[in-house]
Structure 1
Amino acid sequence: MTFRPVTQTTHAQPTMEGAGVHLHRVFGFGDPSESDPFLLLDDFRNDIPQHYEKGFPWHPHRGIETITYVLEGEVAHGDSLGNNGTLGAGSVQWMTAGSGILHQEMPKGNAAGQMHGFQLWANLPSSLKMTAPRYQDIQGGDIPEIIDDDGTRVKIITGNFWGKSGPVDGIAADPLYLDISVPPNTRKTLPVDTRANAFAYVFAGAGRFTDAADPIGVRVEKEVAGQEINIRDMTGNRTLVRFGNGDEVTVKAGPDGIRFLLVAGRPIQEPVAWHGPIVMNTQAELMQAMKDLRNGTFIKSQH
């Protein structure tokens, strides 16, 4: 097994999207090759209803897939194909925009007014840019969860992990998307496809992504045993961790445990022409999409 080293850590940045939704952008609208096949990740976490309740009114998508994972509250959605539904806490929606779709997403908080979820964008290869739009709505109870002997919990949204498969299928990027909770002071090694780009996004607790031989990781472990810990040596809330090559990731949870998304996918390695919610391969295709929006031919007949 080959340990994946940490190549970069960055913090999600506050921004606004839709009709004034306050969220944190983990990555996006930068160099798309850095996270290929993934384009963008947003963390929409808020307990002030006026900061999210106006939502994301009708807007277009083409050439990508969007993955919405709701932890708290719910998201009502509707689209130009006539689909309507509500994503509750723990549920996932995987939307393949393909040739084009218009949709809206309207968040609503839980009883305490809290809203929390993530949206990840995955690119489509050129051969599938104009495929028919498709939805997969998965309820939280249908997402398999594995509890390991040491108390580590892994929810498998898509991909194969520890002998189980997530319920979302037929995705072009064939990704791994996991929600992982590691108990306090526990070291865990997790397998990852060596040919995939991989990242972790920490959204609760703190820890250290490290090799067993890493002196900093060892020092933190000793400090934990002595009930002291240097938080500066740890990765905490709203932190993106990018990894180098290898086929396993090791994390050592801090005294409060750690919870993070682990996402991996094989890169498409194609040109990217990107404007807002539309991602194509060439500027000509991008201009055609804009023309389609203007003249009312953006939504293609399906067959």
Structure 2
Amino acid sequence: MPSRRIVKIFTAHRQREGAGFIVTRPFPSANLKDADTDPFLMLDALGPTMVDHRSPGAPWHPHRGFDTVTYFKRGAGAHQDSMGNKGVVKEGEVQWMRAGSGVIHDEGNPGLTRDDPPRPSQGFQLWVNLPARLKMSPPDYQQLTAETFVWRDYVAHGSQGTRVKVIAGDLSDGSDGVRSPLNDALSVPVMYVDVDMKPGANAVIPIPAGYETALVFVYAGSVRVFNGDKDAAGSPANRADCIVYASDDGALRLATPAADEYAPSEPVPETPTTDDLEREAREYHGASLLVLAGQRIGEPVARHGPFVMNTDEELRQAFADYHSGKLATVKAQETKH
């Protein structure tokens, strides 16, 4: 199976979002054009971090013109929106929300009081663009349980020491196919896989034909990535690095260093700090990463803040609709989680 070529490797930037929490954001980025990530618009990685009752969330804010896919690896997140949905996205669960013509929602840390100790939190939010014909479609929402997205050993194409969780798309694990239930909700064919690799592991992950965009985001440990078929040595990619692949068909080849190549690391305390969790992710023996791939929509992108449309005029209309109350209405802005 041919291997895809690598276009670039760069380190994601960090920034404040919402009411002040920190995210690691590989894209959008000055390193990339919109076409490089099409149909994906944004990926935010939250944590790993410790949260308590004072930790900021993302208070009520609008969206129009795209889908969001939120996945909690650790901890949980509270959600309420103008469609009337309210609940908690628990560890391992996935939330899909279509902003479509317009939604207003609130995101926070659920059930934490002054008396509760801090707890770990780690999650990812992916924005997936909508084609022009669906940007003004009715908003929608689904929350899928952790049992829907199970870890599976991945042995296809000679892979070893690797397990995968298919959040969106299809992937053969070497015995049978894994198909995400999220596929029926998404309007654009995409692949979104959480991959965990032990020390000394290797993985060959085929990208479906016609998926021009392919990206890898490393969120723990380090991995070697290979640039096409003739690259025998590979290039290192560390925590917070993003790998952008060429649009040619082929698989992604990945490998982790052998166990004896890792420096000893201190165990994380029973009551960790955010710095402890950051160190654990940085020094992780193996690699944890997200694989994203999809068919490009190939339409103009006009974006500003929470809105993503096709033209500047549509953007101005989105802001006007929001400020006039036409975009969406929240019946009771209850922020208690």
Give the TM-score of the pair, scaled to structure 1.
Answer: 0.88
Give secondary structure in 1 for the equivalent of 2:199.
coil
Give secondary structure in 2 for the equivalent of 1:33.
helix
In the alignment, residue 71 of structure 1 is paired with which amino acid? K
Give secondary structure in 1 for the equivalent of 2:249.
coil
Unaligned runs of 5+ in 1: 218-232
Are the counterparts in 2 of residues 199 and 262 from structure 1 also a CA contact under 8 Å? yes
- Determine the structure 2 residue equivalent to 1:250: 253
1:201 aligns with 2:217: yes
- Work out the percentage of aligned pairs sharing the same amino acid: 36
What is the CA-CA distance between 1:194 and the residue it aligns to? Answer: 3.2
Root mean square deviation of aligned Cα: 2.0
Are the counterparts in 2 of residues 78 and 105 from structure 1 also a CA contact under 8 Å? yes
Are the counterparts in 1 of residues 50 and 118 from structure 2 also a CA contact under 8 Å? no
Give secondary structure in 1 for the equivalent of 2:210.
coil
Distance 1:35 1:181 in 2: 23
In the alignment, residue 239 of structure 1 is paired with which amino acid? D
In the alignment, residue 83 of structure 1 is paired with which amino acid? N
Structure 1 residues 43 and 292, CA gap change in structure 2 (3 angstroms): same
Q: How does 1:114-193 map to 2 (within 5 A)?
A: 114-149=120-155, 150-162=160-172, 163-168=177-182, 169-193=184-208
Q: How does 1:53-64 map to 2 (within 5 A)?
A: 53-64=55-66
Give secondary structure in 2 for the equivalent of 1:235.
strand
Give the TM-score of the pair, scaled to structure 2.
Answer: 0.80
Deviations 1:46-76 (A, max 9, x none): 4343698220000000001111110111100
Name the stretch that deviates more: 124-133 or 288-297: 288-297
Structure 1 residues 48 and 258, CA gap change in structure 2 (3 angstroms): closer
In the alignment, residue 140 of structure 1 is paired with which amino acid? A
Give secondary structure in 2 for the equivalent of 1:119.
strand
Structure 1 residues 242 and 29, CA gap change in structure 2 (3 angstroms): closer
What is the CA-CA distance between 1:156 and the residue it aligns to? Answer: 0.7
- Determine the structure 2 residue equivalent to 1:282: 311
Distance 1:291 1:281 in 2: 16
- Determine the structure 2 residue equivalent to 1:42: 44
Structure 1 residues 167 and 52, CA gap change in structure 2 (3 angstroms): farther
In the alignment, residue 252 of structure 2 is paired with which amino acid? V
Q: After TM superposition, where is structure 1 displaced by more than 6 Å over at least 4 residues in a row?
A: none
In the alignment, residue 249 of structure 1 is paired with which amino acid? L
Name the stretch that deviates more: 49-58 or 75-84: 49-58
In the alignment, residue 214 of structure 1 is paired with which amino acid? D
Deviations 1:237-267 (A, max 9, x none): 1111111122211001123222110011100
What is the CA-CA distance between 1:287 and the residue it aligns to? Answer: 1.0
Distance 1:21 1:37 in 2: 26
Are the counterparts in 2 of residues 9 and 240 from structure 1 also a CA contact under 8 Å? yes
Distance 2:124 2:288 in 1: 14
Distance 2:166 2:232 in 1: 31
Are the counterparts in 2 of residues 234 and 254 from structure 1 also a CA contact under 8 Å? no
Unaligned runs of 5+ in 2: 259-284, 330-337
Structure 1 residues 157 and 17, CA gap change in structure 2 (3 angstroms): same
Are the counterparts in 2 of residues 21 and 51 from structure 1 also a CA contact under 8 Å? no
Deviations 1:136-165 (A, max 9, x none): 111111114321353311101111110110
Give secondary structure in 2 for the equivalent of 1:291.
helix
Q: How does 1:16-35 map to 2 (within 5 A)?
A: 16-28=16-28, 31-35=33-37
In the alignment, residue 73 of structure 2 is paired with which amino acid? L
Give secondary structure in 1 for the equivalent of 2:219.
strand
Distance 1:184 1:44 in 2: 25
In the alignment, residue 18 of structure 1 is paired with which amino acid? G
- Determine the structure 2 residue equivalent to 1:220: none
In the alignment, residue 292 of structure 1 is paired with which amino acid? D
- Determine the structure 2 residue equivalent to 1:101: 103
- Determine the structure 2 residue equivalent to 1:12: 12
Deviations 1:195-249 (A, max 9, x none): 21010111112111115642423xxxxxxxxxxxxxxx52111111111122211
What is the CA-CA distance between 1:170 and the residue it aligns to? Answer: 2.4
1:273 aligns with 2:279: no
1:263 aligns with 2:292: yes
What is the CA-CA distance between 1:88 and the residue it aligns to? Answer: 0.9
- Determine the structure 2 residue equivalent to 1:230: none
Are the counterparts in 1 of residues 162 and 202 from structure 2 also a CA contact under 8 Å? no
Give secondary structure in 2 for the equivalent of 1:216.
coil
Are the counterparts in 2 of residues 202 and 258 from structure 1 also a CA contact under 8 Å? yes
